């Protein structure tokens, strides 16, 4: 893989780098899927991979992922296998990778309007409430303001 880490070859499986965080891989897949506004069923249909397996991938409970399935998911999400795996290696997230990931609807606009940092946007984009995320700029603004108010309450105590 080029990182100089030790890998374990497994037939018809990814060369799993010992430092790959499968939970991060799952979060990246979920982030990209929700950024497109897709349900698990829609990603399953687009990728040809079962909804249950995608759910296991997103939750980091799929074990060592099958490369064919992860490749199909990457293609459906219009990204590369390289980018998905690069996001899953701690400390290896490249600035160019972050820039190429499309933001959920409205979050990019809010970032520009409020001058949010990439870290703030990444934190916001990772938030789900009962499996849902804001669908427009006003929804993201409401979420941000709510989080800020909660932060102020904690600091007052």
Token couple for 147? 């989080």
Distance CA 139, CA 118 (A): 18
Q: What is the mean pLDDT of the chain?
A: 75
Q: What is 70-132 written as a DSSP string?
A: HHHHHHHTT--HHHHHHHTSTT---HHHHHHSPPPTTHHHHHHHHT--HHHHHHHHT--BTTB
Using the predicted structure, report yes or no on whether residue 130 has a pLDDT greater than 70: no
pLDDT (tens digit per residue) in 28-59: 898 888 888 899 999 999 999 999 999 998 88
Q: Which residue has the tokens 């990182």?
A: 3
**Which pLDDT does position 1 carry in this prediction?**
38
């Amino acid at each position: 893989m080029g990182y100089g880490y030790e890998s374990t070859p497994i037939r018809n499986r990814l060369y799993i780098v010992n430092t790959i965080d499968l939970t991060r891989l799952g979060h990246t897949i979920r982030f990209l899927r929700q950024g497109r506004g897709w349900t698990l069923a829609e990603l399953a249909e687009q990728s040809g991979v079962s909804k249950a397996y995608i759910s296991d991938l997103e939750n980091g409970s799929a074990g060592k992922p099958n490369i064919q399935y992860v490749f199909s998911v990457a293609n459906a999400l219009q990204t590369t296998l390289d980018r998905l795996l690069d996001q899953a290696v701690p400390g290896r997230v490249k600035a160019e990778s972050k820039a190429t990931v499309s933001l959920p609807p409205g979050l990019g606009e809010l970032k520009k309007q409020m001058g949010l940092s990439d870290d703030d946007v990444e934190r916001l984009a990772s938030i789900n409430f009962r499996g849902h995320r804001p669908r427009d700029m006003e929804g993201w603004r409401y979420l941000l303001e709510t989080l800020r108010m909660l932060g102020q309450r904690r600091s007052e105590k």
